[in-house]
Structure formats: structure tokens, C-alpha cells
């Protein structure tokens, strides 16, 4: 078992949800890893890439490739950012470039958090406890780019005291979509409310995801609707004892 | 964003009845599809997608060859092929045939390609009556509306809407029973079929080795349009080619399943020419109109060429969470949903609606269900990058560009990045600009008192 | 330059081609499952019924004749010129017109008859589809205009599905100008997604499979 992992916490966790990064580190340490935080990291560059600013995305990608160059494992508390690192970096650079080679070398080393726990650490459970019923929201990039569907569900189902309830619209987008959420605010809000209806139908007291951006979107809509539902990152649930 | 796009979206979002209608109809189509492509129902589903995608790629990459082969075979079976650059050319071909035959009445079965060229309007200018015969399209024609959805054109209408338009246009008593409405249309259109001089259809596939058109439908109006009149004109985009009749064993298994959740549609017609000697009925003339209409422009772009692989099943619309909110009429052209979002800018230019490629969360549901595996999110990303290139030339989007320049500048300077963001987190958040847009629908997130980076440093220092 | 030449030139330029033959296309995907006759019959019956049609399997032509007679009850019917219909004695049932070779007469009969009776060249048992090849024996409108369609199909024409059909008929256009698959009664769901049968084509389809 490799003793060291590096974490790439993503800009949104760094600035808005630091407790998620801390929870992820806690879980990784609990199961025996030494956790490193490469300090040069900032953002994966996805906001620029998704907005069509390819030059800016390339600039940030180069920086991140260098920052993560010597990491054996990079664990990310986000399916979306992990997909950016492992899938889209290569698309940004021409076939024979050095950066393309660096991106290709990074791809097999990047893992979304639940992916890392189940595929690398081979854990079925991490000794967590939680009291109550939760429902799991599939974030789109995790589900469709990284094909993560069962891993977080299995980890949740193994948490002592936790009841996992499937919602009918689990695979439907929450409506965040980066700058989409403000460019098409009305559509984005309507999508979030449709998702909320599905969450409410489960009667769960919390919605869990592996992407903080989806959770920010859902939290904003839940708060506006005045609903008594918590939003939790998988790491936060798994860190609980 | 154009004022029109913005306004149509707002109107649609503000109409609870319409919201329910779109969400319910697309939801139903989604579950119908799911039932017939499941592992149990169709174990070879993914294999069929892979095959369909490979065939389409091969055909499009060698399209000139297959177009010529198709033409040769149509002629060999006694049909005619007409090549058209534009909408006007298509109308001219139809008018020419109509004039030669002294035709007055045309029956038309559903065809998105003829919607592209606004054919009915053009024909009526020349005194020809052209009647839509698909029930949904017929209702829309009476209401002077365009299709709301590729396969469910009247998805946005209620039985009350239909009762009113039938009462107003046909003079029949107000009747909200859907079976009766269907019978009314059957009666009116039956007369049209039997008296029509020309039948116009679209084509789901053009079969190169057979010179045949394949048409898939449920009502029987396409069969009637192509069987009863003496002349059949099929109008299709040049991208509809597939090499062999045998390829239908792949495509037909995917098309209806993806569109409506049927293993096969009620009627699949494979038509390859005028009636043969001794046959008692069927058209005596068979014409195929091949439309460019902007498609050759797309072919030149190797990255985005696969947009032409589309078989118009509509599954991407049904599964698109954005389409399910903004509906079909918000889109700037006759093609709506994810496929509309990628082909409209390529056919009509990015400036037809520069915001269109951005009207997506890139959730990827469209690509997941596409029977020919078109990577729609990837093409949307390409188009976004192209919009930014255009903006470099004109004065649009300067603020956003400046913001992302600043973002990239800071993101490669971790210390500065941290300091600037730490400062930013302490500023009061006013609901203005992007924050205001966010706040219009949701509560704003509360920035953390200290960043992960700060907490981590402190923890390591202990 | 005419449109044809201009379009082909643009296509070739866009693709970087010079009109040379393409590499062979990916092999057609044809997978023929071996389905015994009994299973084909069973599947055909089941699928047609699931589509809201009716379907029966009868041993002999005589049984088929009596079955069709009971269905039509002497009402007006137009039958195709298919040989089997004559063999089974269906064309001489009361109310049945057959042997029509004049187009105007055929249209008139199809537009007014209560029943259209045809055979089918093949049937696809995995989807419950009838395969109709237009010919002097099978006019198009008989299975299309009357409100009820009765198809009488000898059992040996039951194929497993599309793959077997396209193996037997790799080039359908060599045989007919029109091949149509009929999979159940005409239907629409265009108004509020409510299913209605018999919109333009027959609202009732009866499939009669004949033979051991």
C-alpha cells in the first residue's frame, strides 16, 4: 500500500468549503495514508475551459501539471475537477507537445475521492458513523465522464447508522454548470428546484454528493425554499465518527 | 444573449402548464426508451451504437462516393435525383414538377428538412396547397406554428388548444375528446390524400446501394403520402446516406427505440422507385431532392463533422435538463435541444445566437443516449471557444475576457492568488452582476472564514 | 457549374477527397439467431397481441378461410391478388372483392371497404411485423386505406427478425419498388401523449398464421 497521497482540493473547496478538504484528509489518514498538499495548486482551470477561453485554460493547466508533477496519487474531492485533470487536459495541447505527454502521465494518477477509496485503497467502509437518512446526487461529470455510480453509494451504505434512499431523479443535473448558473440563472434555478422536488420525495434529511459545486447550487436553492435539508460532501459523511 | 432568446426562455419558465407539459412528455419518452434499451431487453444495445457510429463516420467521410452511388441507383430504378443548394432551389424543383403535372394539391408527411426550407410557405406563394398530414404537424400548420420537438411536434399543446383550432379552422363543433379530434383529422386528411397530385416526404435514411429512401412513422400518413398520389418527392439532407440496405438491421433497431421507445415504428417504408410494370397502385414518378443547405460547410471541419451523424431521434431533447425547462420554441431554428444547439451555429453562423452554445450545463446526458454517439458536449465546448475567437475581433464579451485573464494570471501565482482571494472573502457580497443573477434564484454561499490552505498550514504547524 | 457538380466539389474539398473509392465500410452487422419455428410462431403471436393487434395460428387454409369469414361477416372487403388468398378460398368469400387490376377501381374499393385482406411476403417474429413487398399481387392501399387489415401469412414466411430478412433480401430494391414493415395498428400520441389507434392507417390489424 502506498503510504503517501497528494490532495488537490479544488478552488471551491479551498475558498468556500474548507471543511470538505479537511474531512477528506481525515479519512485518508484514518485508513493509513500520509496526506500531502502540494502548495502550488490553485484551480484546475475548468471555469476558463468551459467558458471557451482556451488560452487561459492552457495557462492554468500548465501550472497545475507542474504543481502535480511528482505526485504518485492525486486525490480530488470533485468528479468534475478530476475529470478536467484526467480527461480534458490532454485535449488542450497538440498531440506531440510536452504538455500533452505530461497530461497523459497525470491521467492514471488522478482519482476522485470515492474512486480512490474503492479502487486504490480497496476499502468497502472507512469506519464512519452517521445518524439518519440521506440521498445521493450523481454529479454529471463523475457519472458520465468518470463512470462513477456505485462507489459512493457503496461507501455510504456501509456507514453505520446511515440509511441510503435513492431518489427518482438521481442522474438529473442540478443545474449548476459553472457560469451557466448565472448566465441562465432562471433555467439553472428551475433545474435546481426540480432536483429538490426529487430529493424531498425521498424524505431524506440530507443530500450527499462528491462535488461541492453541485452542493453549493442545491444548498442555495434549499435555503431559498426554506427546507430542512442539509447538503453534505461524501468526505464529510465518511469523516464522521 | 439576444433579447428574443432571453424573452422566450423567460416566457416558457413562467408558464406552469407548459412546464408540466414539457417535463411530463419528455419524461414519458425517457422511460419508454429506457425500457427497450435495457440490458434485458436489448443486450446488444451498446454494440449497435458502436456499429451505427462507425457506419455514419465512414459514410460522412466518403460522402461524395455514396451520393453518386445513390444517384446511380435511383436512376437505374427509374427515379430522378435533384441536387439543391438552398431552400429556394428546393421550392423551384417542387414547383417545376408541379407545373409539369398541372398539380394543385400536395400532401406532405413530417419532414424536418422541409421545415428547414419553409417549403409550405414557399409553395403557397405559388398557388399550391400543401397540407401537412402528420396529426401534430397538421395542427401546427393550422396554428401557423413550427414543431416544438423533432419527434413530438405538438408536445406543447393541449386538447383544448386543438379543440379551438379545429373549431376555428375547420368549422367543426368544439370537442375536447382526443379520439374525436383524431377522427376529425383523419376525415379531412383522407380526402386530401385521395385527391392529392403529389406526395412529399422526408427520409430517415437514404440507402446508397439501393437508391432507396427509408421513412419511419406511426400514423400511416407517410405511407399514404407516398402511395396514393401519382408523384412522390422525397426531400432529404445529403447527410442522410448510409451505404447498404443491410445497415438498416443496425439503424432501425436504434431509431424507434431511441425516439419513442418502440422496437420498430408502426410503419417502416423502404421506397426505391416508381411502381413496376403490372403494379396496380403506387406513384408513377419518384423524385429525390438532395439538399445541401449548409451541410457542405460542416463537412470541412473534421472536429465537428460528426454533427452530421444525427438520425433525428430526439432522444437528446428528451434527456436534456435544459430543453426540459426552456422547450422547443426558445431555440432560434427549427432544430431544438442539444442537437439544435450544435447544428444551428454551424448552419447559420455563431452570431445567429451567440449564447446558444453556452445554454448547457455540459451534463452529458445527450451524449449518453445518442444512438450514434455524437459527442455533443465536446462540440459545444468547441463552439464556445469559437465564440470567444469571434469576440476577439469585435467588442463583445470584453468584461468576461478580462475576468478570465485575471483569473489565469492569479491562478499561476499561488501566493498572490491566496492573498487576493482572502481579501475577496472578507468583502461584503452585494447581489450585483453574477452574484445578483445567482441571488435571483438562490441564496448566496457564505465564504469560509479561513481557506483550506490556511487551515492546513495551521494543522501541519501543530 | 450546376448544383450537382458544385455540391460534390464542396463535399470533396471539405473531406479532402479526390473521388477515389472509399475504404470498405465496416462489415454490416448481421446476427441471425437460430429460432425454431414453434418459437417464431409463439413470438409473433405474442408481439402482435402486445401491439393491440390480434393474431392466431391455424393449421390449414380451410381454417383460415373460416376465420376470415367470421371476421368479415359478409361485409365489404377488398382482397389482394396474392396466390395464397385464392388457394385458401378467401377471395371467394361473400362480400370480398379480389382480382382488381384497375387503379381507379382499386382506390374506390379500398376507400370504401370495411376490410383489407392481404398476405405478407415475410413476417418478423421478434417484433411482430409484417413485411409487404409491393407487386402485382400486393397493392399498397389494401393494407392502408380500410379501417381493418387482415394479413394471412403462411407459417414458413416467419423470419426471426430484421437480420434474417436482410440476409434473404440484401437488395430489396431488386425485387420491389416498395417494401413496408407493418408493426401493429396505425397510432399517434401527438395530442398530450395520449395513445390513439387508427389515425390514418388501419386501427385494427389481424394476423393469421397458417400451416403446421
B324-360: per-residue pLDDT in tens?
Answer: 999 999 999 999 999 999 999 999 999 989 999 999 9
The reported pLDDT for the residue numbered B118 is 86
Task: List the grid coordinates of C18.
Answer: 479526390
Is the model's pLDDT at B395 over the cut of 90? no
Q: What is the pLDDT of residues B195-244, one digit of tens each?
A: 999 999 999 999 999 999 999 999 999 999 999 999 999 999 999 999 99
DSSP-derived secondary structure letter, C173? G
Cα–Cα distance, B318 to B260 (Å, whole number): 10
Chain C CB contacts of B245 under 8 Å are: 166, 169-173
pLDDT of A2 higher than 70: no
User: Stretch B293-318: mean pLDDT, rounded?
Assistant: 95
Task: Identify the CATH number of the domain defined by range B1-43+312-396.
Answer: 1.10.1060
State the DSSP code for C23.
P
pLDDT band, residue B101 (cuts 50/70/90):
very high
In chain B, domain spans: 1-43+312-396, 48-293, 403-461
**ipTM of the complex model:** 0.98
Q: What is the predicted pLDDT for the residue at C65? A: 98
pLDDT-derived band of residue C1, with 50, 70 and 90 as boundaries? low
| pLDDT above 60 (res B109) | yes
Distances from the Cα of A5 to the Cα of A29, A76, A221, A239, B248, angstroms: 10, 11, 35, 17, 51
Spatial distance between the Cα atoms of B225 and B233, rounded to a whole number of angstroms: 9
> Looking at the partner chain, which of A18, A55, A172 has a beta carbon nearest the beta carbon of B451?
A18
Please give, rounded to a whole number of angstroms, the shortest distance from the CA of B306 to a CA of chain A. Answer: 17
**Nearest chain B CA: its distance from C25 CA (Å):** 6
Q: What is the pLDDT of residues C67-76, one digit of tens each?
A: 999 999 999 9
Better-predicted residue by pLDDT, B121 or B184: B184
> What chain A residue is nearest to B417 in terms of C-alpha separation?
A42
In a domain, C13, yes or no: no
Q: Closest residue of B to A186, CA-based?
A: B441
pLDDT single digits (tens) C128-174: 999 999 999 999 999 999 999 999 999 999 999 999 999 999 999 99
Question: In chain A, which among 48-107 make CB contacts under 8 A with chain B?
Answer: 48-57, 59-60, 62-63
Residue of B270, B288, B299, B305 to mutate, testing the C interface (most C Cβ within 10 Å of its Cβ): B270
**Average pLDDT of the residues in B260-271:** 98
Confidence tier at B306 by pLDDT (50, 70, 90): very high
The shortest CB-CB distance from C26 to any of B54, B207, B223 is to B54
List, for residues A142-178, the tens digit of each pLDDT value. Answer: 999 999 999 999 999 999 999 999 999 999 999 999 9
- Structural domain includes residue C23: no
Q: Which of B110, B75, B54, B53 is nearest to B236 (CA)?
A: B110
Query: Which whole number is the average pLDDT over C35-45?
Result: 97
| A149 interface with B at CB cutoff 8 Å | no
Q: Looking at residues B176-181, what average pLDDT do you find?
A: 97
In a domain? residue C204: yes
Asked whether residue C24 is assigned to any structural domain, the reply reads no
Domain A125-239 has CATH 1.10.101.10: no
Residue of B360, B414, B437 with shortest CB distance to A40:
B414
Cβ–Cβ gap B358/A171 under 8 Å: no
* B317-322: average pLDDT: 98
- For residue C58, the surrounding DSSP H or E stretch is strand C54-58
Q: How far apart are CA C201 and CA C185, in angstroms?
A: 7
Q: Is C10 on the interface with B (CB under 8 A)?
A: yes
Examine residue C112 and state whether it is found in any structural domain, yes or no: yes
**How would you write chain B as a 3-class SS string?**
CCHHHHHHHHHHHCCHHHHHHHHHHHHHHHHHHHHHHCCCCCCCHHHHHHHHHHHHHHHHHCHHHHHHHHHHHHHHCCCEEEEECCHHHHHHHHHHHHHHHCCCEEEECCCHHHHHCCHHHHHHHCCCEEEECCHHHHHHHHHCCCCCCCCCCCCCCCHHHHHHHHHHHHCCCCCCCHHHHHHHHHHHHHHHHHHCCEEEECCCEEECCCCEEEEEECCCHHHHHHHCCCEEEEEEEHHHEECCHHHHHHHHHHHHHHHHCCCCCCEEEEECCCCCCCCCCCCCEEEEEEECCCHHHHHCCCCCHHHHHCCCCCHHHHHCCCHHHHCCCCCCCCCCHHHHHHHHHHHHCHHHCCCHHHCCCCCCHHHHHCCCCCCHHHHHHHHHHHHHHHHHHCCCCHHHHHHHHHHHHHHCCHHHHHHHHHHHHHCCCCCCHHHHHHHCCCCCCCCCCCCHHHHHHHHHHC
- Looking at residue B461, its pLDDT comes to 80
Identify the band that residue B444 occupies on the pLDDT scale cut at 50, 70 and 90: very high
Tens of pLDDT, residues A194-228: 999 999 999 999 999 999 999 999 999 999 999 99
On the question of pLDDT at A192 being above 80, the answer is yes
CATH 3.40.50.10420 fits B48-293, yes or no: yes
Q: How confident is the model at residue B396, as a pLDDT?
A: 84
Same fold, B1-43+312-396 and B48-293: no
B107-112: average pLDDT: 92
pLDDT at A1 over 80: no
Percent with pLDDT over 90 in chain B = 91
Provide the domain limits for residue C148. Answer: 49-188+197-210
For residues B269-278, average pLDDT = 97
* Predicted local distance difference test score (pLDDT) of residue B117: 86
For chain A, percent of residues with pLDDT exceeding 90: 99
Domain range summary for chain A, segments of one domain joined by +: 4-119, 125-239
**Which residues are within 8 A (CB) of B202 and not within 5 positions of it... i.e. 6 or more apart?**
B109, B110, B111, B112, B113, B114, B215, B234, B235, B236
Q: Which DSSP helix (H) or strand (E) runs through A15? A: helix A11-15
Residue at C97 is within a domain:
yes
B58 has a chain C CB within 8 A of its CB = yes
Predicted confidence (pLDDT) at residue B462 exceeds the cutoff of 70: no
Question: How close A51 comes to chain B (CA, Å)?
Answer: 6
Question: Does residue C16 fall inside a structural domain?
Answer: no
Into how many domains does chain C fold?
1
pLDDT at position B433 is 86
**Cβ-contact B386, B350 below 8 angstroms:** yes
Q: Would you call A160 an interface residue with chain B, using a CB distance cutoff of 8 Å?
A: no
Question: The C-alpha cell of C71 is what?
Answer: 371476421
List the CATH number of the domain containing C166.
3.40.50.10420
For range A235-239, the mean pLDDT: 98
Query: Please, what is the average pLDDT of chain B?
Result: 96
Whether C49 has a pLDDT exceeding 70, the answer reads yes
Amino acid at each position: 500500500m502506498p503510504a503517501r497521497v497528494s490532495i488537490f482540493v479544488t478552488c471551491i473547496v479551498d475558498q468556500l468549503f474548507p471543511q470538505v478538504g479537511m474531512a477528506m484528509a481525515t479519512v485518508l489518514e484514518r485508513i493509513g495514508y500520509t496526506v500531502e498538499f502540494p502548495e502550488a495548486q490553485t484551480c484546475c482551470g475548468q471555469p476558463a475551459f468551459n467558458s471557451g477561453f482556451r488560452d487561459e485554460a492552457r495557462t492554468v493547466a500548465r501550472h497545475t501539471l507542474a504543481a502535480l508533477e511528482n505526485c504518485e496519487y492525486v486525490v480530488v474531492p470533485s468528479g468534475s475537477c478530476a475529470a478536467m485533470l484526467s480527461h480534458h487536459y490532454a485535449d488542450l495541447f497538440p498531440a506531440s507537445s510536452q504538455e500533452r505527454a505530461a497530461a497523459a502521465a497525470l491521467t492514471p494518477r488522478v482519482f476522485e475521492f470515492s474512486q480512490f477509496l474503492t479502487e486504490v485503497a480497496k476499502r468497502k467502509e472507512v469506519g464512519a458513523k452517521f445518524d439518519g437518512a440521506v440521498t445521493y446526487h450523481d454529479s454529471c461529470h463523475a457519472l458520465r465522464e468518470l463512470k462513477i455510480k456505485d462507489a459512493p453509494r457503496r461507501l455510504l451504505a456501509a456507514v453505520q447508522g446511515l440509511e441510503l434512499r435513492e431518489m427518482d431523479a438521481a442522474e438529473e443535473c442540478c443545474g449548476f454548470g459553472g457560469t451557466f448558473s448565472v448566465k441562465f440563472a432562471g433555467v439553472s434555478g428551475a433545474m435546481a428546484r426540480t432536483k429538490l422536488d426529487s430529493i424531498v420525495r425521498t424524505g431524506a434529511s440530507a443530500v450527499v454528493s462528491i462535488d461541492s459545486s453541485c452542493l453549493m447550487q442545491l444548498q442555495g436553492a434549499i435555503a431559498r425554499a426554506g427546507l430542512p435539508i442539509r447538503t453534505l460532501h461524501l468526505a464529510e459523511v465518511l469523516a464522521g465518527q | 444573449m439576444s433579447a428574443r432568446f432571453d424573452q422566450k426562455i423567460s416566457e416558457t419558465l413562467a408558464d406552469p402548464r407548459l412546464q408540466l407539459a414539457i417535463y411530463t412528455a419528455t419524461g414519458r419518452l425517457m422511460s419508454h426508451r429506457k425500457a427497450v434499451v435495457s440490458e434485458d431487453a436489448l443486450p446488444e444495445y451498446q454494440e449497435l451504437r458502436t456499429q451505427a457510429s462507425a457506419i455514419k463516420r465512414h459514410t460522412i467521410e466518403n460522402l461524395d462516393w455514396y451520393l453518386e452511388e445513390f444517384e446511380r441507383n435511383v436512376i437505374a430504378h427509374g427515379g430522378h435525383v435533384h441536387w439543391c443548394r438552398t431552400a429556394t432551389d428546393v421550392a423551384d424543383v417542387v414547383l417545376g414538377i408541379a407545373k409539369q403535372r398541372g398539380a394543385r394539391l400536395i400532401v406532405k408527411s413530417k419532414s424536418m428538412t422541409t421545415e428547414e426550407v419553409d417549403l409550405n410557405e414557399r409553395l403557397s406563394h405559388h398557388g399550391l396547397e400543401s397540407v401537412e398530414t402528420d396529426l401534430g404537424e397538421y395542427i401546427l400548420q393550422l396554428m401557423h406554428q413550427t414543431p416544438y420537438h423533432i419527434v413530438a411536434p405538438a408536445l406543447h399543446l393541449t386538447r383544448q388548444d386543438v379543440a379551438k383550432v379545429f373549431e376555428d379552422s375547420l368549422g367543426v363543433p368544439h370537442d375536447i375528446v382526443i379520439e374525436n379530434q383524431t377522427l376529425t383529422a383523419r376525415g379531412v386528411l383522407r380526402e386530401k390524400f385521395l385527391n392529392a397530385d403529389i406526395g412529399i416526404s422526408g427520409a430517415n435514411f437514404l440507402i446508397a446501394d439501393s437508391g432507396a429512401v427509408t421513412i419511419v412513422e406511426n400514423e400511416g400518413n407517410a405511407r399514404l403520402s407516398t402511395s396514393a398520389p401519382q408523384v412522390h418527392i422525397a426531400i432529404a439532407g445529403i447527410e442522410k446516406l448510409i451505404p447498404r440496405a443491410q445497415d438498416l438491421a443496425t439503424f432501425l433497431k436504434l431509431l424507434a427505440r431511441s425516439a419513442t421507445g418502440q422496437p420498430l415504428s408502426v410503419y417502416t417504408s423502404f421506397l426505391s422507385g416508381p411502381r413496376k410494370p403490372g403494379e396496380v397502385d403506387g406513384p408513377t414518378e419518384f423524385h429525390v431532392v438532395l439538399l445541401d443547405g449548409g451541410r457542405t460547410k460542416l463537412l470541412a471541419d473534421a472536429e465537428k463533422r460528426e454533427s452530421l451523424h444525427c438520425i433525428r431521434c430526439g432522444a437528446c431533447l428528451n434527456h436534456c435538463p435544459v430543453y426540459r425547462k426552456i422547450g422547443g420554441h426558445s431555440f432560434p431554428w427549427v432544430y431544438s435541444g442539444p442537437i439544435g444547439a450544435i447544428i444551428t451555429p454551424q448552419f447559420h453562423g455563431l452570431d445567429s445566437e451567440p449564447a446558444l452554445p453556452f445554454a448547457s450545463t455540459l451534463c452529458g446526458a445527450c451524449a449518453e443516449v445518442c444512438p450514434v454517439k455524437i459527442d455533443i458536449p465536446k462540440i459545444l465546448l468547441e463552439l464556445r471557444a469559437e465564440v470567444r475567437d469571434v469576440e476577439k475581433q469585435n467588442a463583445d464579451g470584453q468584461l468576461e475576457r478580462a475576468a478570465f485573464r485575471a483569473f489565469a494570471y492569479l491562478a499561476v501565482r499561488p501566493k498572490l492568488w491566496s492573498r487576493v482571494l482572502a481579501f475577496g472573502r472578507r468583502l461584503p457580497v452585494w447581489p450585483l452582476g453574477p452574484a445578483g443573477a445567482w441571488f435571483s434564484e438562490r441564496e448566496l454561499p457564505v465564504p469560509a472564514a479561513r481557506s483550506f490552505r490556511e487551515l492546513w498550514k495551521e494543522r501541519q504547524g501543530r | 457549374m450546376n448544383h450537382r457538380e458544385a455540391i460534390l466539389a464542396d463535399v470533396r474539398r471539405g473531406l479532402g477527397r479526390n473521388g477515389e473509392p472509399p475504404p470498405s465500410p465496416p462489415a454490416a452487422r448481421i446476427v441471425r439467431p437460430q429460432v425454431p419455428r414453434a418459437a417464431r410462431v409463439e413470438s409473433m403471436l405474442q408481439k402482435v397481441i402486445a401491439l393491440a393487434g390480434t393474431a392466431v395460428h391455424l393449421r390449414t387454409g380451410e381454417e383460415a378461410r373460416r376465420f376470415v369469414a367470421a371476421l368479415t361477416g359478409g361485409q365489404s372487403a377488398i382482397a389482394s391478388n396474392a396466390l395464397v388468398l385464392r388457394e385458401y378460398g378467401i377471395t371467394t368469400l361473400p362480400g370480398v372483392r379480389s382480382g382488381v387490376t384497375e387503379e381507379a377501381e382499386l382506390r374506390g374499393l379500398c376507400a370504401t371497404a370495411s376490410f383489407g385482406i392481404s398476405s405478407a411476403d415475410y413476417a418478423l417474429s421478434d417484433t411482430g411485423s409484417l413485411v409487404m413487398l409491393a407487386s402485382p399481387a400486393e397493392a399498397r392501399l389494401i393494407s392502408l386505406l380500410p379501417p381493418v387489415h387482415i394479413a394471412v401469412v403462411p407459417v414458413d414466411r416467419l423470419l426471426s427478425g430484421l437480420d434474417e430478412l436482410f440476409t434473404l433480401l440484401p437488395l430489396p430494391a431488386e425485387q420491389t419498388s416498395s417494401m413496408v414493415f407493418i408493426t401493429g395498428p396505425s397510432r399517434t400520441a401527438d395530442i398530450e401523449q395520449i395513445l390513439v389507434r387508427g389515425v390514418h392507417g388501419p386501427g385494427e390489424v389481424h394476423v393469421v398464421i397458417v400451416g403446421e
